[in-house]
Every structure is written in structure tokens, then in C-alpha cells.
Structure 1
Amino acid sequence: MGGRGIVLLCLASLIGACSSDHRPAPVTTLYSGNTTSKHKINIAGNSYKVKKGDTLFAIAFSANKDVRTVAKINNIKSPYTIYPGQTIYLNYSKKQNGTRKKQPSVNGRTQYSKRKVNKTPKKELDRSKQRGYVQRQATKKSTNSKSLYNNKVRWKWPAEGKVTRRFSVKENGYKGLEISNRPGTSVNAAAGGIVVYAGSALRGYGNLIILKHTDDYLSAYAHNAKILVKEQQKVKVGEKIAEMGSTDATKTALRFEIRFKGQAVNPAKYLP
């Protein structure tokens, strides 16, 4: 090709580039494996701005939220595609909650919707209804407790080693099991599922893998030396997914968590 032809080809390429769509590429397109970004997901307040390498599962996990709840708040449909620069809200606003909705002003004065108030004295409430309410609440609590542990997920220990730290119910307590062993020890999927996060953007977790097992259950594997799976990859129970390490930790150990509807639960209740 002559010099003139090369110049024309370059001009055509530049014109094509200028006319292309400048909308940011979705994170699911940009990110299909271990993240290379250096940032950490820092949740402060009611919102978070998406960066390259983030996933909605990782954001929800960091905020201790169910990903479905976060998706609903932000009107994001499955498969939860998000974009760099997008603002993700983590709670409904007061206006969305309908606590006190502001109405159009009338004669320059702001009007507020009025809520009906039950003026019936508490003593006049029917006692049988009160008893029935208590019974329903007790039954509901019992049912929820059973469904929490009698689930259909087949669980298996994620690694061999010594349990050196256990789950704590305290607000700032340890929310998983710490399993210690030698560097490079195999870390295996505790149940069959799909990889919804594989990276190092969550503060305090180092190289982290999050698996989705059902709509309600996730499991997390932190501080790995090496990640052996990619996002959207399907894994079987017992399959090796990482090697034990000490990333973002002071010693070599696996931090293993189980999340039920976004909340950390005691893994010892599930493991054989």
C-alpha cells in the first residue's frame, strides 16, 4: 500500500472512532477475571460510585446487603450490569419510604400528606387479637429459623486445617471461620455454585472469591495467595478454587463466610 493509501486508512479509522458511542462500557464487559484495579470498595453513607472492576455482588457484600435488595433500590435487573461512574444507592430515601411525602405548594405554603392515626386506646384493643398476633409472630420466627438451616445446599468444609477463630454474634465480631494451615493449601468450593466475584477490592479480605449457591446463599473465601477461578465460572462442591495465603492479613489462613440474604451467619451451623 502506498503512502497516500495509508494516510486515507488512518483518517477513516479516526472518523469511525469519533462517531462511536461514548457511553461507558458495562463493568461486566470490562471485567471477566481477577481485578487489576488498585482501589478498595469504601462504603460511606447511603451511596457508592462504581469503579472499573466492581460488581454489584461485591458492593452489596461490602455493605452487608442482599444483592437483590440493592438491585431493586437502583432498578437494576439481572444479570446486574453496572457502569463505571454510576451511583449505587444502598437504602431507600425517606421520600421512597413514604414517611412524609411533600405535596405541591398551595398559596405559597408547603403541604404534607396526613397519616391516619389510630386513636383507639391501647386498653380497648381486643386481647384475643393480641394473643393471635403473638402466636403468629412466634410461628413465623420458628419457620424462619428452620428454613435458615434446613436448606437444600450441600455444604462441605472449604479447606483442611485448624479452626483458629470462630464466628461471633457481637456487632463487630468475627463473621466467619478462620482455618489455618500452610501457604498453598487447597481452598475448595464449600458448595456448588457460580463465581460472582474474584478480586481484591474489598477492604480487609485480600484476594477474595464469592460464590453464589442459591438466590439466598453466598459463600466467601478470603486472604488467598492465588485465585484459580474467574467470574461467571461454574464450580462444583469440593472443586479447588484458590490457594491459601495471607493477603491483607497477618498470618496464613482462610477466612470463610456464609451469607444468608446478605447477612453473615455462623458457618458451623451448616458444615458437617
Structure 2
Amino acid sequence: MGGRTTKRAAIAAMAISLSGCIPAGYAPYDYRPAPKRSDAQTVSRLPSTPPAWELRPVSADAKLVSASTYTVRHGDTLRGIANKTGAGSEAIARANHLSAPFTIYTGQKLTIPGGRYHRVKQGETGIAIARAYGVPWSQVIAANDLESPYILRVGQRILIPSTGPMTVAERAAAFNLDIEDIVTGGEPAIGRGDRPAKATASSARVLPPTVAVQPPARLSGPFAWPVEGAVLKGFGPGKSGERNDGITIAVPLDTPVRAAADGVVVYVGDDVPALGGIVILKHGDDYATVYGHASQLLVQRGQSVKRGQEIALSGDTGFADRPELHFEIRKGRKPIDPMTKLPHRS
């Protein structure tokens, strides 16, 4: 314990020195993720349950549907035709250029698009579905033209992109979880009449992982810096080709990490090994923020937070080789440079 304490003190002193000597901006050297250290901090969190994609695994039982033409009969509905053919109602609507309220008429000939269709069941997430079939969730989003907030519907049939024959082990190995997956594919499907849970200010509520979280509708106010410190690495590709979807900020160990804007917690955990302890907030208008390398996670999924509220303590977890905070701002599926949204610092 003494060696670890001494090491922490030395690293903390280095971080303080960096924050005083390096101006906010890009670091003069190229930061690379370090190998996982055997003495890395353990991420502590409030009592909670595993995420829905762990508790509700998916069976790869998609039905193969052949492309065909269907003639509409009296009393047919688009969803009823989907049930008869096995294709997704949304896929049929897209193939036939139908828009809401999806009016069809007797005798109309509809193109039924072929492919593998997975029928979504209660509590299933996009992450678990993509993992079951060994395909990137982003490809499932594209194949089905899914849009924010990316919450699936129980009974919905979604098209699974073809990957060729794969064993269960190969499918599992082919899927790599990333931040975009959690932001867009981490919420469980909802059934007819179900509503996502409204946020509460209390961290005492442990929301069941099979209940979706209702994100804010609108972004409230500008973004603020989550911590004070030097920016060690900026947004975008580095000299060695690695990509940073946010910025890396040097901070002493156990520095309070604060919400960059009002929002709702949609994820707390450490399921992306490179980033260690992570908090993800949604803020409305398709904005989300990500806070990585935390040592302590102080909020709960489904909790509402205010700008400036303490949500975590900084650490050196994940692949960090110094105390630091990884910070992202995302608009929909795309990360954007946080420096374009944060207040200017001298």
C-alpha cells in the first residue's frame, strides 16, 4: 500500500505541475494508451445492477425472409403484413416509400424486402442484438435507418446485416463494445404502452436495467468544463494514427468531476476497458457527454443532474498512465470537438 500511495502522490504532483505549465490546447507530444497496469485503481460505484445487455442476452434466432411481392387485401395493416411475411414493418415502408400514417389500399402491390430479421423481445438492447450476431451496432443502425433516441420496440423486426457463417464464439469475438454503442444501443426495448422512466434527482433509486431511461428533450444552457487542468491530448487523430473522440485533461487523483450541462445519467460502469470508470449523460437535442478514467462513480443510471454537479472522482483507471479525465461531447452518433463547445480559457 505504501508504494502505491507514494506512486499516487508522485503522479498527482506531476499532474499539478502539468496543469500549471502547459496551456490549454494540444499536448506537444503524442499520447498513446498504455497497457493495462496490474496496479491500476479499482472503480468504485453506488450499488447497482449489471447493464441490460449483460442481464438480457439475445439468441441469434433471426428468420430469413425471401424478397417477394405482396398484394394488399381488405383489412390489411402494415404491421399485419409484416407479421404474415416475417419482414419488418419499417423495412416494408422504406422499400415502398411509405410515410406516416402508412396508408395502404386494397390491391396495392408492396415490395417485401428480403433479409435476416430479428424480432425484438422484452428488455433486449441494440448492444446485445449486435453482439449475438457478431455485427457492429452501427451497421444495424444503418441497415434499419434507426434514429435518436434509438430505443427499440418489443415485437419490432430489425434487419441484421449479413456476415456469412459464424460460430457462437466467432460472433462474440467479432463484437467490440465502444462508447457509441452505449450511447445509441444501451437502452432496453419497450413494449406497447410502456414509457421510459423519468429521471429523479436521488441517487438512491436503483433503476431496473430492463427499464429505459427518458432523456431530456432540450439542451439547457451552454457546456462548462468538467474539471480544471491542462489538455494533454486534443480531439481527432494523433501522429501515430490513433483517434481521440474527445480531449484528455490532466488532473490530480480524486479531483471532483462535474457535469458539463444539465442532464440525465444513462450509463455508469467500466465496460469499455480502455476508459476505466465511465459516466455518460444525455442532455437533450441529441447531445451526450462522456467522462472516463474515473476512480469513483457517484451517480446512478436514471438520475437527473445539474450543470456543475459532482458526478465522479478522477482517476487513472483503464489504459491511463497518469491521473486524467477523458471527456467527450457527442451530437447523435458523432463525437464533436469539445473545444468548440467549451468556454475559452486563457
Answer with 1 or 2: which has the greater Rg. Answer: 1
Query: What TM-score do the two structures reach when normalised by structure 2?
Result: 0.40
Query: What TM-score do the two structures reach when normalised by structure 1?
Result: 0.49
Give the number of the structure with larger relative contact order, counting CA–CA contacts within 8 Å between residues 6 or more apart.
2
